[in-house]
Structure 1
């Protein structure tokens, strides 16, 4: 729970010293019990009259019990120290808040129950004084200055309250850590904490931020929009060549999400998106990057999801999509990033999936779609995507009622190929060095025989 202004102003912190004293007495008492147990229970059985496996087991348990008495003492004394530090720090920070409020009130600012300051210096003026003030040419400036000062007091008080809350959270973390046994000594995890830290400045630190060396690290983002409509048009662009584009859409809704989980060389990644509405576009021209032209239209709903799993240079991927509505499109072009040609016309519903594997940056996979409706399509691609990967593939399909589409694809990731080659070169270099070291050691060993 986050502390607010009222919590800070009304808190009675005196009980912390009483509780601290009680914990110290408890710690001292646990120390006495440890001594008594080791002397009167554990020690009395070591006179040599009892031997064997049962005696050994009893001594192991007795040693663990004695250890826990000592751990209980350490934990109790650490908590006593933490509570003493907490009292000192919280009292200091609480006083800082109260001193700010007192200073504000002395300067005729009233602080309400939420910590907000308001200037009341004009409230006690006589009627004649108020009239004169309100007709003073500087009156608007004086009011603005009073409001600005009031906000400054409010901000300072809020900052001081936040400092108390942060200290309170620090105490909470420290006490939780002091009572958590994660070591395997004694009876193991879950006993008293023999390593409890009694210094609040050390024990109350927040967990470090940023990526950890071990464990899964998650990243992700999502967005949603709609309904909405819009159009856009660009070109021609004389500087880059002849290029023109136009687009129109009427969206009922759009949504997308993507994320990843990484743990060392292992990475799981995925993304999904959905769309409902209608859209149409046309683009074409000759630019310094090549020649291309396309026209598309779609009305209906579509959704897709895809994911990858990589472990070093080896990975697998899969994707699925579904669409219901009507669409038509034609495209062709040749650019510095590849060539592409395709045409499709379809009305109805379809669902598809693709899967493949990737080793060292070179992947191969297959695609399949099931169609319910009427339509035909064909596509051939050799192009470079925005992620730098090259895709080579083809697919063809037809449906009159029920039908479908089949295809294949090969992907080439130059960046991943380079990383794999670099890793392999390093591994070979390490292996050569290891062989050289082995030969040298063998030579030394043989020489020592003569």
Structure 2
């Protein structure tokens, strides 16, 4: 009742001013630093890398403006809604007083006996029906005022959640969809429409409630088996702007895939069994804005993969895999892009059997592979960069066989999205724990 909601408008004005200043910085950056990469005096891989990096920096300046303007708009809308609800609360209090009630500063309603004559007070107090009428009237007005207070509280909590979402990077242009290279930068997808944001927040809350209810009602299981074959085909395309050229020929006599998934709350168990008998050859090449990529491979034979995985929310996970191969294969590949480099070469004829396993904690994973070979061949592979799954990979593999041999390999992965979520959860937990400790210490001396 005593809050000055006009301060929200004052804060909104400062956010709008900030957006204007950020626009000046973006323009100056584009006309000076970023401009260097658009001249003909700089070419090659370093120029391509600089173009990516400088464009990403300018993107963040632009995203910061979107975020600042969105917050300004949200604060203005919040001021309007809070002011309206405050007026409704004041009106409810005035109506209760006009109906013969008193309303304390804490919002507690009571019957105002001071407006009655001594005779009327005595009659009310000694008349059971009169006491019932008073109690019902007090309860009615108390609920009316409580509902008005509850509306303010709910709006306050929802606006807090909306503001937290507005300053969290939506990554709408990340993972190759645009110039965004930061997973925790400014939010270029921030909305300044409070009504729209509140609807989205309500939908998210309802979805979370449904998910929690579904988890309470028991685990869910799904899966199936799929057969295909024989199939064959060929396709080819030349290099185009921003896309690699490719060629592919395949003939699968038989393919069977079995998948299963079991989910119970945050726990997810999944498995896949894939068997393929056939032959294929493919090649890709190109030099695009993402860098250089060349790959060629061919294989013929039967291949089987069995994999099981367990995940608990975004905090932890683990997997185990068995692979078997009989036939011949050869491959050569190399990439040099802004988000990493990789290279591999292999040639093999005979039979393979191998196992792999690994785990992940808070977005950071580690895994290892080991294979036994019966035949002749060699393999070498090294990877550093971002994969198609959006994770960063660092690893390698070496193998050789002349009659009998094998290979070993290892890899570390870094999932930026899971790392960010885990860090946020940890920060929230630390904050809540610190608050509990503080309340406990204060309570000892109250």
Tell me the TM-score normalised to structure 2 length. 0.50
SS at match of 2:427: helix
Q: How does 1:372-391 map to 2 (within 5 A)?
A: 372-391=374-393
C-alpha separation in 1, matches of 2:222 and 2:391: 22
> Which consecutive segments of 4 or more residues in structure 1 shift more than 6 A?
none
Deviations 1:405-435 (A, max 9, x none): 0111111111211121111111111101101
**Between 397-406 and 334-343, the greater mean CA deviation after superposition:** 334-343
> Paired residue for 1:229, among 228, 232, 238?
232
Cα distance, 1:257 vs structure 2: 3.3
Query: Structure 2 vs 1, CA of residues 363 and 244 (structure 1 numbering), >3 Å: closer, same or farther?
Result: same
| Structure 1 runs not aligned, ≥5 long | 1-209, 445-450
Structure with the greater alpha carbon radius of gyration:
1
SS at match of 2:214: coil
Cα distance, 1:214 vs structure 2: 4.3
> Paired residue for 2:222, among 214, 219, 222?
219
Matched, 1:352 2:345: no
Contact 2:215 / 2:265 at 8 angstroms: preserved in 1? no
* Aligned counterpart, 1:404: 406
C-alpha separation in 1, matches of 2:339 and 2:214: 36
Q: How does 1:138-217 map to 2 (within 5 A)?
A: 211-217=214-220
C-alpha separation in 2, matches of 1:266 and 1:395: 31
Cα distance, 1:351 vs structure 2: 0.8
* Aligned counterpart, 2:274: 273
C-alpha separation in 2, matches of 1:221 and 1:291: 39
Deviations 1:277-315 (A, max 9, x none): 110011101112111001100010101122222235232
Contact 1:214 / 1:264 at 8 angstroms: preserved in 2? no
C-alpha separation in 1, matches of 2:403 and 2:279: 24
Tell me the TM-score normalised to structure 1 length. 0.50
* Aligned counterpart, 2:3: none
C-alpha separation in 1, matches of 2:269 and 2:417: 18
Cα distance, 1:442 vs structure 2: 1.1
C-alpha separation in 2, matches of 1:298 and 1:383: 26
* Aligned counterpart, 1:292: 293
Query: Structure 2 vs 1, CA of residues 426 and 214 (structure 1 numbering), >3 Å: closer, same or farther?
Result: farther
Contact 1:214 / 1:263 at 8 angstroms: preserved in 2? no
Cα distance, 1:231 vs structure 2: 0.2
* Aligned counterpart, 2:303: 302
- Report how many residues are paired: 234
Q: How does 1:222-261 map to 2 (within 5 A)?
A: 222-237=225-240, 239-240=241-242, 243-261=244-262
SS at match of 1:397: strand
Q: How does 1:313-332 map to 2 (within 5 A)?
A: 313-332=315-334
Cα RMSD (Å): 1.9
SS at match of 1:428: helix
Query: Structure 2 vs 1, CA of residues 390 and 259 (structure 1 numbering), >3 Å: closer, same or farther?
Result: farther
